[in-house]
Structure 1
């Protein structure tokens, strides 16, 4: 399991656990909700964009609240219960599990046991996430929809619950982050932010492995591959990945889908383009780059051909 009683890690967790009650806890009502929703604001220092926190104890009874940042919680040692969206939705997050929450998603941790539990939290400012991490996850439509939901629905109720294998590099990465944050220096944010990017990529992989259906036919698998690699995929990439000649793939796709590789790739990119245009304030140039276009003029041309209007008009 993830907790291995390493002395240095244990001391760092002990420090984070002692710091936990003294974070910037501020549960204040949000008048815009109309329901006296309690909002928890950023728990760290104003200068921080990501942070690592840890609850270490036997009992915790959080008030049901929402928060204005993304959070990733890990059941690092022991199990705990989480209330999501409303008091009727109680799930058990078992040791080794991960719970990802959107900004403003309802949440509360509940635990009352004779055995100690360690809940590790990675917190990311909303603005930082959209600026620095969204592009790395944009190749996966399902994950992209999950992370963009708070942009169109402030009080989103979605969460992701994953089981992280004990052999996953995620645990080693988290241990380094624990040590770095427990003994912070002026360079800690520069060190931690790239680690959060790696963490997001590993979690995206686990999400796809555990939640997305895996096609059983060759054409299903090829379509999944195009969707997951639409920013850079070529016919030669597909042929090499699946062990076929590019000419065979180029004939198979129209035969099974009625569309050429170029048309399928354009569809995948355009779906993602509309999501990003509708729900982020990213520049058109940045979106074009994220989608794999060599320049924005090519993106403009492809977008207008597909939707009949320019990205700016949309």
Structure 2
């Protein structure tokens, strides 16, 4: 990474630290700040970092002292190792990080750095609001049913279990991170559009690499669930059982043991998650979405959707898109 960019971001980081959110009285009351400090694991909101409306993300370097304490966020965090060999701990799991490594943490993932020395290590921190992360990812998923199945499955099975994805060094990512940092610091015309496009490129490369590695080797139950997630719009228990040569009742018990859900509940949840993606990130009509996720009866979809989200699909789109 260019030394000029490093120096500029350190200056930016120090300026932000001077008016950091812990002492930002304009936006947060003393009572709110006191409650944050008293939490056993402070949950930091995105608003603490994203006060600058000129950029959709926030970037800074990690300070040695600030990251020794256990904390969590309500946003996605991407960390990129510029140099060194820091050791992070995420949800009690030790992560050995090296130069060029990148890690994406889900909201609520509890973490800190067990080993991080500013004289030797340098970590770039990127704050990604949930909507921006999902928007960047969904652009990729629309054209890839396998990856879409992976992320829907990931969201359903890990919604209440904060997690992360750790990637090794990829040279193409190095160049894109540097471009992202330059756009963030320069704040030139169309920077927002370019930043969002660069994020999509970064996630595309990471997912392509992850997909290539994960395609080697799979157990029988994983293959069954993959099949269900990729064919959710038309699949039935009988069809899955026939495809994998299982008795339907036995397969049903296997699915329940693995997911904690009945086959029907699993299909409903997958369909609803896909419906949310279409509502938030496409202009498809609700009638089109009902058909895309596999419902023949519009009223059944509306009933299930309202039961789960306490509002109609149109209301959900208006509120969150």
TM-score (norm 1): 0.64
**Match of residue 201 from structure 1:** 204
Kept in 2, the 8 Å contact 1:60–1:111? The answer is no
Report whether the alignment pairs 1:11 with 2:10: no
Number of residue pairs the alignment of both structures matches: 261
**Match of residue 84 from structure 1:** 90
Report whether the alignment pairs 1:299 with 2:292: yes
Displacement after TM superposition at 1:40 (Å)? 2.0
* Residue 72 to residue 272, structure 1, CA distance change in 2 (3 Å): farther
Distance 2:178 2:129 in 1: 21
Kept in 1, the 8 Å contact 2:5–2:181? The answer is yes
Displacement after TM superposition at 1:71 (Å)? 1.3
Distance 2:20 2:157 in 1: 25
Kept in 1, the 8 Å contact 2:84–2:99? The answer is yes
**Match of residue 190 from structure 2:** 187
Describe how 1:43-122 pairs up with structure 2 within 5 A.
43-47=49-53, 48-55=55-62, 59-62=64-67, 63-85=69-91, 88-113=92-117, 115-122=119-126
Indicate the structure with greater helix content: 2
Indicate the structure with greater strand content: 1
Kept in 1, the 8 Å contact 2:87–2:116? The answer is no
* Residue 284 to residue 182, structure 1, CA distance change in 2 (3 Å): closer
Kept in 2, the 8 Å contact 1:102–1:147? The answer is no
**Match of residue 157 from structure 1:** 162
Describe how 1:272-287 pairs up with structure 2 within 5 A.
274-275=269-270, 277-278=272-273, 281-282=276-277
Distance 1:200 1:127 in 2: 15
* Residue 113 to residue 281, structure 1, CA distance change in 2 (3 Å): same
* Residue 54 to residue 203, structure 1, CA distance change in 2 (3 Å): same
Unaligned runs of 5+ in 2: 23-31, 233-239, 247-264, 305-321
Displacement after TM superposition at 1:285 (Å)? 8.8
**Match of residue 235 from structure 1:** none
Distance 2:107 2:157 in 1: 9
SS in 2 for 1:37: coil
Distance 2:155 2:10 in 1: 29
* Residue 104 to residue 256, structure 1, CA distance change in 2 (3 Å): closer
Describe how 1:136-285 pairs up with structure 2 within 5 A.
136-137=140-141, 139=145, 140=147, 141-147=149-155, 152-153=159-160, 156-166=161-171, 169-214=172-217, 257=244, 274-275=269-270, 277-278=272-273, 281-282=276-277
TM-score (norm 2): 0.63
Distance 1:81 1:184 in 2: 32
* Residue 21 to residue 67, structure 1, CA distance change in 2 (3 Å): farther
Describe how 1:124-143 pairs up with structure 2 within 5 A.
124-137=128-141, 139=145, 140=147, 141-143=149-151
Unaligned runs of 5+ in 1: 4-8, 232-252, 260-269
RMSD: 4.6
Residues 201-210 or 44-53, more deviating: 44-53
Q: Deviations over 1:164-194 (max 9, x none)?
A: 234xx21211111122112222532121011
Distance 2:82 2:267 in 1: 34
